[in-house]
Amino acid sequence: MSTPQPASVATTKVTPISGFPEYLPSERIVEQRFLDVIRETFELHGFSSIETRAIEPVDRLLGKGGDTDKEIYGVSRLSGDDGDGAKWGLHFDLTVPFARYVLENSGKLDFPFRRYQIQKAWRGERPQEGRYREFTQADIDVVDVGELSPHFEAEMPLVIADVFSRFPVGDFVIQVNNRKIPNGFYQGIGLTDITTTLRIVDKLDKVGPEKVSAMLVDSGATSEQAGKCLALAAIRTHDLSFVDRVRELGVTHPVLDEGLESLAAVIRTAMSHAPGKVVADLRIARGLDYYTGTVYETQIVGQEDWGSVCSGGRYDALASDGRNTYPGVGISIGVSRILGLLIGKGLVTASRSTPAAVLVALRDDESRDESVAVAAALRARGIACEVAPSAARFGKQIRYAERRGMPYVWFPGAGESGDEVKDIRSGEQVPASADSWIAPAADLRPTVTRTDV
Amino acid sequence: MSTPQPASVATTKVTPISGFPEYLPSERIVEQRFLDVIRETFELHGFSSIETRAIEPVDRLLGKGGDTDKEIYGVSRLSGDDGDGAKWGLHFDLTVPFARYVLENSGKLDFPFRRYQIQKAWRGERPQEGRYREFTQADIDVVDVGELSPHFEAEMPLVIADVFSRFPVGDFVIQVNNRKIPNGFYQGIGLTDITTTLRIVDKLDKVGPEKVSAMLVDSGATSEQAGKCLALAAIRTHDLSFVDRVRELGVTHPVLDEGLESLAAVIRTAMSHAPGKVVADLRIARGLDYYTGTVYETQIVGQEDWGSVCSGGRYDALASDGRNTYPGVGISIGVSRILGLLIGKGLVTASRSTPAAVLVALRDDESRDESVAVAAALRARGIACEVAPSAARFGKQIRYAERRGMPYVWFPGAGESGDEVKDIRSGEQVPASADSWIAPAADLRPTVTRTDV
């Protein structure tokens, strides 16, 4: 990836724009592989793809997803507006456009509607490691009309566990909580400003328990109440024992009961279908106000300092048009965040910079037709290849392939009985026919591997 | 696709934004299939993928690709600029950003560099049928340093013919010309304002030969010169006979000779490797000033009124940094244009609105675990599926599948010896195991078919 530097408008000197990462071809192959895994897994789970336009009316963007007004990129024609008075901005996530899409097409969609969406989004914030101003997200959501069955909240982590198991990123853990647990718990110990309390407890990772305790007391809690809040946030179990651990704190409230029951259902499903991948973590809050039930975060084991790379939750009203309310549950993979870190730190690399597995060599300029025919025959059987750009001596043609990481060079008419193909890694050259030669599956496409394990 | 209507800022009433099309899930499946075919074919031909950021400095966008200043969407933070004084705009094609990418990364790329790029672009023009303000293009280019071997100009139509042969759009024809032919020809008959002459002749399709002739005379040509220009533009052959046809007009010029030789090489290659798909058409000019040699347009047979759906050409200087010049040749598929027309007219449709081939039915709420396990087993073997959202009666569950076009409903434990699966199109229900059942290949993914043939 390019190193962030200030933008330049000079035509002969070109420098990257900070926060707008671009990949070199071999890095892009890594990105494509991750995106392919995401799409394939989402589709295996029966999610339908949609794409929304890059822009939304600014009024729709403002006030959604919290305090984002300063982060929106406005869009307008350089020569003036389009005459319809609309003010547009680039979307800063995929949830706001999806909510609008559901309202706009509610009569044409089948509910419950399972959709995935893999697109870029834009935020005008200060770029830093793993945080970009242009970035790709991959979202799934299930949305229904009026009521959403709670089992969808248990389904989300199974899909995400399936995706991350296919990534070359090693171990990961999906942390789940239910907003009703802290909500009910805080009410049960006599706290009334739930939002402030949540917000303070959410700082645990950053400032530690002592400071959180002090901030809670500053906000009006007794030190005993603050202690209970911290005790709740410390509970983290892979099984259903979190329920007893909460009960031991001696707090009761009907909303707390609801939350515990709901989280237990999610963890129970995960124990059966994604064992070891999901943990009940009562510290997880998620900042966004529209989450009302289950909330999710995901960490890569050993890379906890990267923060959550996949987050989401349940919301009672994704959208509402006055007549109907559309509750939903969704989760979003921060693709650019994961890849920026993996690629930036050189943790995942591709075996070559081109999809081509084979370079078809050129004996002389007169025989280009023959080489083009060989290439066509290979492609017809799904083998990506290109013809050498010039009839340089074979050593130079081999180096052309080598530099790009292509494993094979094909020599039309090189053998006594026809063509030959050379594995340029081993140097082995054998007779072969373009109509029958089989490339090892591992060579057919570039391999993408974790390099530090 | 949504009908274009003016934008609305009301939250309870949502209307589309004109020129920013969005697809329903089944339409999106058609789009995905076309994009998959494009990507797969580009990769078989050894093109590497890149993506560039959505924005470029406005200075870089202005003055490239002709008179586009009025069409650029500016981008700036709503709260003010980013402090570095840069003015940004959304890119209006993929060529300008690619040229910048080549300059920026020239030290890290291997030349000749074969890249493909499939991305959205934005233009602020008045939307009309098949013309959008947000649209997807799919480009291939080969760029080299200093010199570009001419055989790449012959390669482009082979790649495009391969792509279009895999589209369910019926017959198509790639029209090729070489800018040097009219250039040299016009000079050979004594015309000096080549650009104006080209621009007038380019209007042939719109206004007809009589008006073009009159305009040429108005611009200073004699009626004999005008007649020759029209005679040249009328030449169109699938083989090399266009050379003799031009010679018969009795005009000679060294630039004309170069152009004829170059176009003959392209047509000769096409006759061998894409017979019947490529035609020498001396009427093709392409408006963009940076084309210097071969130019391409593509028409779908029977839909000639749609205009060219895939165009490009050779340019001597895609980019230049003072030290090096980067000549190239490229071609761009107007994906949104093709799909907007095909989908808008209902000419191509998908067999279902979800990737799921199977709905796993739910006997009762208690057996959800069993159904989830069946779904996991099917997915492990690449069969996309989902579990029924609720344990409604089976008739209702079948209708859920039917409405989305899923071909199969799976009934866990329905038979004497285990599960059964029903093809809901035929009604046939047979015993099956999730560990071994094979879905017919045609049912595994949604089918995308031309509906009028």
Residue B105 backbone phi and psi in degrees, to 5: -115, 20
Question: B376 to chain A, minimum CA–CA distance in Å?
Answer: 8
CB contact under 8 A, A272 and B372: yes
CB contact under 8 A, B115 and A25: yes
pLDDT band at A13 (very low <50, low <70, confident <90, very high): low
- Asked if the model's pLDDT at residue B68 lies above 60, the reply is no
Residues from chain A that touch B79, judged by Cβ atoms under 8 A, are: 69-70, 72, 124
B264 Cβ neighbours under 8 A, 6+ residues apart: B240, B243
A159-199 confidence digits (pLDDT tens)? 999 999 999 999 999 999 999 999 999 999 999 999 899 98
Burial of residue B205 (CB within 10 Å: 0-12, 13-18, 19+) is exposed
Averaged pLDDT, B86-114: 94
Which tokens belong to B70?
């009025």
Of all residues in chain A, the percent with pLDDT exceeding 90 is 80
Across A268-272, B42-46, B168-172, least confident range: B168-172
Q: Which residue of A has its CA nearest to B155?
A: A372
Burial of residue B199 (CB within 10 Å: 0-12, 13-18, 19+) is middle
In this structure, the strands spanning A408-411 and A358-360 are: parallel
Q: How far apart are CA A254 and CA A271, in angstroms?
A: 26
Q: Rounded to two decimals, what is the model's pTM?
A: 0.95
Q: Which residue of A has its CA nearest to B380?
A: A44
pLDDT at B292: 86
B293: Cα separation from own chain's centroid: 22
Q: How far apart are CA A144 and CA B259, in angstroms?
A: 62
A311 Cβ neighbours under 8 A, 6+ residues apart: A286, A295, A296, A297, A298, A331, A332, A334
Q: How far apart are CA A306 and CA A298, in angstroms?
A: 10
DSSP output for B45-58: TTPEE----SEEEH
- Asked if the model's pLDDT at residue A64 lies above 90, the reply is no
- Asked if the model's pLDDT at residue B129 lies above 80, the reply is no
Residues paired with A173 in a beta bridge: A299
Q: How far apart are CA B184 and CA B259, in angstroms?
A: 8
Residue B263 backbone phi and psi in degrees, to 5: -65, -35
For the CA atoms of B34, B35, B36, B42, the dihedral, rounded to the nearest 10 degrees, stands at 110
Q: Which residue of B has its CA nearest to A24?
A: B50
- Asked if the model's pLDDT at residue A82 lies above 80, the reply is no
Q: How far apart are CA A157 and CA A173, in angstroms?
A: 10
Start-to-end Cα distance in chain B? 22
- Asked if the model's pLDDT at residue B12 lies above 80, the reply is no
CB contact under 8 A, A70 and B48: no
CB contact under 8 A, B353 and A82: no
pLDDT at A2: 36
pLDDT at A1: 36
pLDDT at A7: 29
- Asked if the model's pLDDT at residue B341 lies above 50, the reply is yes
A283-338 confidence digits (pLDDT tens)? 998 766 678 899 999 999 999 999 999 999 999 888 888 889 999 999 999 999 99
Residue labelled with tokens 């939750």:
A313
Nearest Cβ partner for A78 among B58, B151, B403: B58
Residues from chain A that touch B15, judged by Cβ atoms under 8 A, are: 104
CB contact under 8 A, B273 and A376: yes
**Helix pair B223-233, B209-218: axis angle to 10 deg:** 140
CB contact under 8 A, B48 and A28: yes
Total residue count of chain A as it appears in this document = 453
The string over B230-269, giving b where at least 16 C-beta atoms fall within 10 Å of a residue's C-beta and e elsewhere, is bbbbebbebeeebbebbeebebebebbebbbebbbbbbeb
pLDDT band at A63 (very low <50, low <70, confident <90, very high): low
CB contact under 8 A, A46 and B390: no
pLDDT at B8: 27
Burial of residue B162 (CB within 10 Å: 0-12, 13-18, 19+) is buried
Averaged pLDDT, A198-217: 93
Residues from chain B that touch A12, judged by Cβ atoms under 8 A, are: 320-322
CB contact under 8 A, A50 and B82: no
The alpha-carbon radius of gyration of chain A (Å, integer) is 27
Question: B200 to chain A, minimum CA–CA distance in Å?
Answer: 28
Question: A132 to chain B, minimum CA–CA distance in Å?
Answer: 11
- Asked if the model's pLDDT at residue B290 lies above 80, the reply is no
pLDDT at B125: 82
Burial of residue B167 (CB within 10 Å: 0-12, 13-18, 19+) is buried
Pairs of residues, one from chain A and one from chain B, whose beta carbons lie less than 8 Å apart: 268
Averaged pLDDT, B174-196: 95
In this structure, the strands spanning B48-49 and B73-77 are: unpaired
Residues from chain B that touch A383, judged by Cβ atoms under 8 A, are: 44
Residue type at A22 in one-letter notation: E
Best mutation target, A8, A11, A115, to test chain B (most B CBs within 10 A)? A11
B452 or A284: which leads in pLDDT: A284
Averaged pLDDT, A346-362: 97
Averaged pLDDT, B171-177: 97
Averaged pLDDT, A56-69: 71
Averaged pLDDT, B193-200: 91
Best mutation target, B12, B22, B117, B125, to test chain A (most A CBs within 10 A)? B22
Residues from chain A that touch B47, judged by Cβ atoms under 8 A, are: 354-355
Among B293, B228, B298, smallest CA distance to B261 is for: B293
- Asked if the model's pLDDT at residue A451 lies above 50, the reply is yes
CB contact under 8 A, B73 and A78: yes
ipTM for the whole complex: 0.94
Q: How many CB atoms lie within 10 A of CB B324?
A: 13
Q: Is B349 helix (H, G, I), strand (E, B) or coil?
A: strand
Averaged pLDDT, A395-407: 97
Q: How far apart are CA A220 and CA A191, in angstroms?
A: 9
- Asked if the model's pLDDT at residue B7 lies above 50, the reply is no
- Asked if the model's pLDDT at residue B98 lies above 80, the reply is yes
pLDDT band at A205 (very low <50, low <70, confident <90, very high): confident
Q: Assess contact for B122 and B91: CB atoms under 8 A.
A: yes
Alpha helices in A45-119 (DSSP H): 58-61, 95-104
B348-370 confidence digits (pLDDT tens)? 999 999 999 999 999 999 999 99
CB contact under 8 A, B104 and A74: no
Of all residues in chain B, the percent with pLDDT exceeding 90 is 81
Which tokens belong to B184?
């040299």
- Asked if the model's pLDDT at residue B386 lies above 50, the reply is yes
Q: How far apart are CA B262 and CA B239, in angstroms?
A: 14
Among A437, A405, A399, smallest CA distance to A421 is for: A437
Q: How far apart are CA A17 and CA A19, in angstroms?
A: 6
Averaged pLDDT, B225-243: 97
pLDDT at B288: 62
B21-45 confidence digits (pLDDT tens)? 999 999 999 999 999 999 999 999 9
- Asked if the model's pLDDT at residue B215 lies above 70, the reply is yes
The per-residue pLDDT of chain B, averaged, comes to 92
pLDDT band at A223 (very low <50, low <70, confident <90, very high): very high
Nearest Cβ partner for A48 among B52, B103, B353: B353
CB contact under 8 A, A124 and B2: no
Question: A266 to chain B, minimum CA–CA distance in Å?
Answer: 12
DSSP output for A343-368: HHTT-EEES-SSS-SEEE--SSGGGH
Check residue B128 and report its DSSP letter: B
For chain A, the farthest-separated pair of C-alpha atoms sits apart, in whole angstroms, at 91
CA distances to A60, A157, A414 from A327, rounded to whole Å, are 18, 18, 66
CB contact under 8 A, B77 and A74: yes
CB contact under 8 A, A23 and B321: no
